Structure 1
Amino acid sequence: MKNVIVPLAACLSACLAPFSAMAHPHIFAEARMEIIEGADGNISEVRNIWRFDEMFSASVVLDYDKNSDAKLDKEELAEIGKTVHESLAEFSYYTFVTENGKPVDLGKPDAIHVDYKDNQVLMFFSMKPQKPLPVKGTLTFGAWDPTLYTAIDFAKDTDIVVKGTHLAVCKHKVVRPDPDEIISQNQNNLTDAFFNDPTGTDMTKLFATRLELKC
């Protein structure tokens, strides 16, 4: 398992087939994102909460339940978190922020915290901008897997929230792109190579749900 460095699926569970580049998700996670304003008026951190589907969660239990008690204890959860922390770095931890259209560099999370409740694996982590990120201009926040192997879904607009005085007065818009419209508008850029293997392209962001702030 650990010598297969691919997206989240194979990083967590050896019982899943190795990643074969296909432009559709195999793992599903319900997500919540919180954008936090610091005391200095800048964005201090972006918090992620992911709840994975039961099928994938069951495969994680099978792979990490070393004492075979049909659950994940503290040490086993910590091992999952360590593996994800190491493996998702090259995918920016599926967390993407832009400032006036330009990517914002985020530091690695200190840790990936993992829990197991109601037959589902949950992950919690926070990322901080590497440089001061003021609450002004146009800011976007989203979470997606660049390889399309994992679907990060914000079921409700209220699953992407802001916390802070200045953030609260920004104009908020949750953008949910229409896939058919995106494909139609980008026919010249969306090649067969993208549909067969989106890894290494930046086209997946066009399909991702994101929060847009105008401050």
Structure 2
Amino acid sequence: MRPLSLLLAGIALATPAAAAAHPHIFAEARLEVVAGADGTVSELRNVWRFDEMFSASVVMDFDANGNATLDPEELAEVGQTVLESLEEYSYYTTLTEDGRTVKVAKPEAINVDFKDGQLLMFFTLKPGEAMPLKGRLSFGVYDPTMYAAMDFASDDDLVTVGEKFTACTRKVVRPDPDEVLAQNQDKLTEAFFDDPAGTDMSKLFATRLEVTC
């Protein structure tokens, strides 16, 4: 397995210490939640732009021909590696419907580019089940292992697309980690010991878009 998959998956052989580690990878994210004509969430469009240090390490790992950049074939290999390695982490995406977690389906591809010294990833996710625009819905991007920090620089980087959303209200929530820990200490401790490599409690920490319809 290439190093990129280990990093983006939060280290495949994670230990309790690794799970509690501070972020080593930083990415600016954008998320567009799209409503279909049938009144359900049809897809989620993601754009991730990684920091220059991590991007440079990916070039070193995947630059097979040694030309100090990533050619189309090498970019495709990066995308395929991430496609496979992040599946068990739901591609860092948390969806809830009235508090209930909704799984995401595996995307067809992770598209990758390398511009101005930074690695970019573009991909589209779909909910793993029908997700009607009804009740309280939330959409967030967060690494459950805390190895990668996914940052939405502006509230405008979390958006809804489609006229069906006009009947809904929306807000961007940026949780305070200290408050989350204080309010959920017992649950987080139990979840950590059940699965120290990552838990679905990540949705508590995620910067997220909340929509009420």
TM > 0.5 fold call: yes
Q: 1:14-25 counterparts in 2 under 5 A? A: 20-25=18-23
Is the 8 Å Cα contact of residues 94 and 145 (structure 1) preserved in structure 2?
yes
User: Which residue among 135, 138, 141 is the counterpart of 1:137?
Assistant: 135
Q: State the shift of 1:7 in Å.
A: 4.7
Partner deviation per Cα, 1:65-92 (whole Å, 9 max, x = no partner): 1111111110000000010001111111
In structure 1, what is the equivalent of residue 14 of structure 2? none
Q: State the shift of 1:198 in Å.
A: 4.5
Structure 1 distance, partners of 2:7, 2:69, is 24
Structure 2 distance, partners of 1:99, 1:202, is 14
Unaligned 5+ segments in structure 2 are 12-16
Unaligned 5+ segments in structure 1 are 12-18
* C-alpha spacing 1:122/1:188, structure 2 compared with 1 (3 Å): same
Structure 1 distance, partners of 2:104, 2:10, is 24
In structure 2, what is the equivalent of residue 26 of structure 1? 24
Normalised by the length of structure 2, the TM-score is 0.88
Is the 8 Å Cα contact of residues 9 and 86 (structure 2) preserved in structure 1?
no
Identity of aligned residues (%): 61
In structure 2, what is the equivalent of residue 15 of structure 1? none
Runs of 4+ in 1 over 6 A off after TM superposition: none
Q: State the shift of 1:30 in Å.
A: 0.3
What is the letter of the counterpart of residue 152 of structure 1?
M
| Superposition CA RMSD, Å | 2.4
Q: State the shift of 1:204 in Å.
A: 2.7
Structure 1 distance, partners of 2:37, 2:149, is 34
In structure 2, what is the equivalent of residue 200 of structure 1? 198
Question: How many equivalent residue pairs?
Answer: 207
Is the 8 Å Cα contact of residues 7 and 147 (structure 1) preserved in structure 2?
no
Normalised by the length of structure 1, the TM-score is 0.87
Structure 1 distance, partners of 2:106, 2:112, is 16
Q: State the shift of 1:2 in Å.
A: 3.5
Greater helix proportion: 2
What is the letter of the counterpart of residue 8 of structure 2?
L
In structure 2, what is the equivalent of residue 171 of structure 1? 169
In structure 1, what is the equivalent of residue 91 of structure 2? 93
Q: Secondary structure at the match of 1:77?
A: helix
Q: State the shift of 1:169 in Å.
A: 3.1
Structure 1 distance, partners of 2:180, 2:81, is 34
| Segment of structure 1 superposing worse, 199-208 or 118-127 | 199-208
